[in-house]
Amino acid sequence: MAAHLSVTVNGTVREADVEPRRLLVQLIREDFDLTGTHVGCDTSQCGACTVHVDGKAVKSCTMLAVQADGSDVTTIEGMASAEGLHPLQTAFWEHHGLQCGFCTPGMIMTAAALLASNPDPTDDEIRHAIAGNFCRCTGYQNIVIAIRAAAAAMRAGSTAGAAS
Amino acid sequence: MIPAAFDYVRATSLDDALARLAADDGAKVIAGGQSILPLMKLRLARPETLVDIGRLTELQGVRRLPDGRVAVGALTTYAAMIADPILGHYGLLRDALPNIGDTQVRNRGTIGGAIAHADPASDMPAILLALDAEVVARSATAERTIPITSFFEGAFDSALRPGEIITEIRLPGGRDDVGSAYSAIEQPASGYSIAGVAAVIGARSGDRWGLCAVGVTGVGEHPYRATAVEQAIRGGASVADAATHATDGITVASDIHADREYRTHVAAVQVRRALEAAAARLG
């Protein structure tokens, strides 16, 4: 029994007919061909599949596609804009916040949700926020540095925006 | 991993969900999905129908009841509980909630789902045991209130009957003469408690505590009240002495992460720490 659903993905309304058992991450990767969202553990541990559903970071391997019907979904592909990379993407690049890069999309989505609610987190708050995202390369230190740098850049950007 | 095929219905109201459950023996409820979806992906659970109650706003949120108690809607997520000003007054919730699951799990996981799942190492059951919470469950034909002390019946087994949905959890209102705390040692990879202890202590008169409640998770077959500890405290024993009774009468679990001897030891340590922290909050 296929279910019809409509999801706004990165600002664009997308529709699909899916089996109820289709996972959100499969909808994103296989039906919508947005393969920046990764499947790491597939058991809700590693966070590589993290996306935003209605502004909240969720593990898309542990949510049914039908549960996202009518929702606003943002994936890593929705982070950069016409002006260029998102400040988090730039900071991960500049501060060597990735090595193999597999965890990076999920890491950035979790970090983006953190910074939306806490624009100036401490290192402890950053580490607590990304506890559900595993990186097996970096030892996390440069990821924390990158998120801290992105937070500073975004605060400076919003201040500049407010002044102009 | 892909779940076995099932039919899916999104409930339009609690009554709609209850009617669908009553009409279909093969139906299970899904809310945040953080417990049932992993089970379904492993095919340890194969419901024929999933009734999705996740969007029922009538089961979300925290409110104070006219009698001063606090009702937490079954669909209230961990993230919503952390942000709630009423629940912020409970020391043991402040201790425990930020460390349950992770950011993403706390955004989806609900209090009702957590206790319906009845994982023997879940944190929330120990907290609700120490608070003497009540679970309100409704079926298509009746509503009943289940004391939390008789809710957990075994590993992944509760007093909830087929066709029932948890609607809310009721907590006692805060008291100035009572302190509470949560202390746990977790298995680092899973985050589940090897021994997690919630303590509520207060109503001191002279050198005796009039009120003491201790909930323990991760240690026995299901979360339990450490009644021997509570009796010792009320009888005037020191916290250190009372804590030695942490596992009295309990068949202590043993696994690759913590054998019986070690788990018995850390259960007593966590009981002591939780009681000390709860008492310290009284100032």
Task: Report the CATH number at residue B250.
Answer: 3.30.390.50
Q: Which of A3, A21, A132 sits opposite B103 (nearest CB)?
A: A132
Q: Does A46 touch chain B if contact means CB atoms closer than 8 Å?
A: no
Within-domain flag for B16 = yes
Range of the domain at A132: 87-163
- pLDDT over 80 at A162, yes or no: no
Q: For residue A159, is pLDDT > 80?
A: no
- Encoded tokens for A153: 């850049």
The mean per-residue pLDDT over the stretch B190-210 comes to: 92
Q: Are residues A91 and A159 in the same domain?
A: yes
Arithmetic mean of pLDDT, B251-258: 96
**Which A residues 77-136 touch B at CB under 8 Å?**
110, 113-114, 128-133
The reply to whether A62 touches chain B by the CB within 8 Å rule is yes
CA–CA distance, B243 with B196 (Å, rounded to integer)? 13
For position A17, which CATH number holds?
Answer: 3.10.20.30
pLDDT attached to residue B207: 84
Instruction: Provide the pLDDT for residue B203.
Output: 86
pLDDT tens-place string over residues B75-121 = 999 999 999 999 999 999 999 999 999 999 999 999 999 999 999 99
Confidence class of residue A163 from pLDDT cuts 50, 70 and 90?
low
| Rounded-to-integer distance, Cα B102 and Cα B265, Å | 27
**pLDDT score, position B54:** 97
pLDDT of residue B176: 86
Give CA–CA dist B148/B129, Å, rounded: 6
Q: How far apart are CA B117 and CA B113, in angstroms?
A: 6
Q: d(Cα A14, Cα A33) in Å, to the nearest integer?
A: 12
Together in a domain, A103 and A157 = yes
Domain count along chain A: 2
Q: Residue B19 pLDDT more than 60?
A: yes
Model confidence at B52, pLDDT cuts 50, 70, 90, reads very high
* Cross-chain residue pair A110–B101, CB shorter than 8 Å: no
Percent of chain B with pLDDT over 70: 100
Of A156-160, B70-74, B194-198, B232-236, the one with minimum mean pLDDT is A156-160
Query: Can you give the pLDDT at residue B245?
Result: 98
**Predicted local distance difference test score (pLDDT) of residue B99:** 95
Same domain, B65 and B151: yes
Our CA-based measurement puts residue B92 at a distance from the nearest CA of chain A, in whole angstroms, of 19
| Residues A23 and A46 reside in one and the same domain | yes
Asked if B108's CB is within 8 angstroms of A44's CB, the reply is no
B12-38: average pLDDT: 97
Report the CATH number at residue A93: 1.10.150.120
Question: With an 8 Å Cβ cutoff, are B108 and A131 in contact?
Answer: no
Q: What was the pLDDT predicted at B190? A: 82
Residue after which a domain boundary falls, among A78, A106, A131: A78
Question: Which chain B residues have a beta carbon less than 8 Å from that of A47?
Answer: 102, 104
Percent of chain B predicted with pLDDT > 90: 94
pLDDT at A161 exceeding the cut of 60? no
Q: How far is B11 from chain A (nearest CA, A)?
A: 12
| A63:B54 CB<8 A | no
Q: Is B107 on the interface with A (CB under 8 A)?
A: yes
Q: Mean of the per-residue pLDDT values for chain B?
A: 96
Cα–Cα distances in angstroms (integers) from residue B49 to residues B8, B71, B190, in the given order: 6, 29, 29
- Closest partner residue to A129 (CB to CB) among B37, B41, B103 is B103
Identify which of B33, B50, B103 has the shortest CB distance to residue A110.
B103
Last residue within a domain, chosen from A43, A59, A78: A78
Chain A neighbours among B 2-61 (CB < 8 Å)? 2-8, 10, 30, 33-34, 37-38, 40-41, 50, 52, 54
Q: Each residue of B137-149: pLDDT tens digit? A: 999 999 999 999 9
How confident is the model over A92-143, as pLDDT tens digits?
Answer: 999 999 999 999 999 999 999 999 999 999 999 999 999 999 999 999 999 9
B108 and B151 co-located in one domain: yes
Do both A58 and A96 map to the same domain? no
Q: Nearest-CA residue of chain A relative to B49?
A: A20
Place B188 in a pLDDT band, splitting at 50, 70 and 90: confident
DSSP codes, B197-215: EEEEEEEEETTEEEEEEEE
pLDDT (0 to 100) of residue A160: 67
Q: How far apart are CA A13 and CA A9, in angstroms?
A: 6
Q: What is the 3-state secondary structure (H, E, C) of chain A?
A: CCEEEEEEECCEEEEEEECCCCEHHHHHHHHCCCCCCCCCCCCCCCCCCEEEECCEEEEHHHCEHHHHCCCEEECHHHCCECCECCHHHHHHHHCCCCCCCCCHHHHHHHHHHHHHHCCCCCHHHHHHHCCCCCCCCCCCHHHHHHHHHHHHHHHHHHHHHHHC
B237 pLDDT exceeds 90? yes
Domain identity same for B121 and B107: yes
Residues in A closer than 8 angstroms to B50, CB to CB, are: 20, 64
Backbone angles phi, psi at B179, to 5 degrees: -120, 155
> Residue B193 sits in which domain range?
181-280
Report the DSSP beta bridge partners of residue B170: B71, B134
Where is the domain boundary, B126, B141, B171?
A: B171
Is it the case that residue B165 has pLDDT exceeding 70? yes
B103 vs A3, A44, A57: nearest CB: A57
Please give the Cα distance from A78 to A80 (Å, whole number).
6
Give the nearest partner residue to B38 out of A43, A47, A66, using CB atoms.
A43
Total domains in chain B come to: 3
User: Inter-chain contact A64–B104, Cβ cutoff 8 Å?
Assistant: no
Choosing from A55, A78, A101, the residue where a domain stops is: A78
Is A47 in CB contact (< 8 Å) with chain B?
yes
- Do B145 and B114 belong together in one domain? yes
